Amino acid sequence: MGALAYLARRFVAGENMADALIAVHALNSKGVAASLDLLGEDVSSKEDALIAQKAYLELLHQINAKNAKSNVSLKLTQMGLDVDEEFCYATVKAIVEEAGSYKNFVRLDMEGSAYTARTISMFMRLFKDHKNVGAVLQAYLHRSENDAKALAAIKAPVRVCKGAYKESSSIAFMSMNDIRNSYKSMVQILIEGGSKVAIATHDEKLITWALDWTQDNHIPKDQFEFQFLYGLKRSRAKDLASQGYQVRTYIPFGTHWMPYFFRRLRERKENVFFVLKGLFED
């Protein structure tokens, strides 16, 4: 258990808000912004969802009070999506409105494919009246290119990632080449549609492609940003920031670190190599 906790500390900022904000300030000093994620998901009661909501409201207050350059990311199942959708909407709406009062931003994380449609639907509903909320799309899902077109049509801010959950070949691409092609297509669709895009990947082939494509097409640097997970690609993030690119690190924290950590090891075999390789990267 001690060894597992040691590994997790590389990728999880700590168990409390103070630890997380220390990590944010360390990144900010290198020109890198953050997105804080209070770990937790799949709550089974309104009471637990309200506890998570209260923590996010306090987190937004602390970010503002400490002048930290960070937004927040949250999962809808942590806010009661499986308990009551209307309750979940109201719970998240309060967080988005609080973030708006601080001129801050809330990203709705994407979970497994069972939640894709409901998460996008919830995002669309929130985005109608609150422009400080963003979506996430997973490039390995067959449906995502069409979702990208729908979100580009409303100029929604979107984070594009490959996808970390184990999915069936009936709904997801299995080959890395297909996933990369989907990723590129989605980024192009979104940026050309006017969306602010978060290019969330540690894949050097995709990072290099994104740099070349945005330069060749004269895409303003404020229309996209690169995003990395906490503990990974630290030198790359600092280097990109020094070149004037917007860079953000996704920082998970909290006591519920084990599901987050083990999901990345268990659900896609390449993540085992990915995490171990990250231990030896700067």
Model pLDDT, residue 265: 62
Model pLDDT, residue 275: 59
Per-residue model confidence as pLDDT tens digits over 53-76: 999 999 999 999 999 999 999 999
**Distance of alpha carbon 111 from alpha carbon 133, whole angstroms:** 17
Model pLDDT, residue 156: 99
Percent of the chain residues past pLDDT 70, beyond the cut? 90
pLDDT at 122 over 80: yes
Q: Which residues pair with 137 in a beta bridge?
A: 160
Q: Which residues are tagged catalytic? A: 109, 159
Q: Please state whether beta strands 106-108 and 133-138 pair in parallel, antiparallel, or not at all (unpaired).
A: parallel
Per-residue model confidence as pLDDT tens digits over 197-209: 999 999 999 999 9
**Distance of alpha carbon 128 from alpha carbon 112, whole angstroms:** 24
User: How does residue 4 score in pLDDT terms, banded at 50, 70 and 90?
Assistant: low
Question: 1-10, 24-33, 243-252: which has the minimum mean pLDDT?
Answer: 1-10
Q: Are 133 and 94 in contact (CB under 8 A)?
A: no
User: How does residue 1 score in pLDDT terms, banded at 50, 70 and 90?
Assistant: very low
Q: Are 173 and 140 in contact (CB under 8 A)?
A: yes
The strand ranges marked E within the chain are 33-38, 70-74, 106-108, 133-138, 158-161, 197-200, 224-229, 247-253
**Distance of alpha carbon 71 from alpha carbon 27, whole angstroms:** 13
* Residue matched to tokens 């790359």: 236
Per-residue model confidence as pLDDT tens digits over 80-109: 999 999 999 999 999 999 999 999 999 999
Instruction: Collect all residues with Cβ–Cβ distance below 8 Å to 201 and sequence separation of at least 6.
Output: 160, 161, 162, 183, 207
Per-residue model confidence as pLDDT tens digits over 143-165: 999 999 999 999 999 999 999 88
DSSP state of 221: G
Model pLDDT, residue 90: 99
Instruction: Please state the pTM of the whole predicted model.
Output: 0.94
The mean predicted confidence, pLDDT, of the chain is 93
Model pLDDT, residue 54: 99
Model pLDDT, residue 11: 87
Q: Are 182 and 144 in contact (CB under 8 A)?
A: yes
Model pLDDT, residue 166: 87
Q: Is the dihedral of CA 80, 81, 87, 88 positive or negative?
A: positive
pLDDT at 272 over 60: no
CA distances from residue 4 to 11, 167, 251 in whole angstroms, order as listed: 11, 26, 18
Average pLDDT over residues 10-37: 96
Domains of the chain: residue spans and CATH: 2-279 (3.20.20.220)
Q: Are 159 and 198 in contact (CB under 8 A)?
A: yes
Model pLDDT, residue 276: 60
DSSP for 4-16 reads HHHHHHHHS--SS
Model pLDDT, residue 9: 80
Q: Nearest CA to 101 among 76, 132, 122, 124?
A: 132
Q: Are 35 and 225 in contact (CB under 8 A)?
A: no
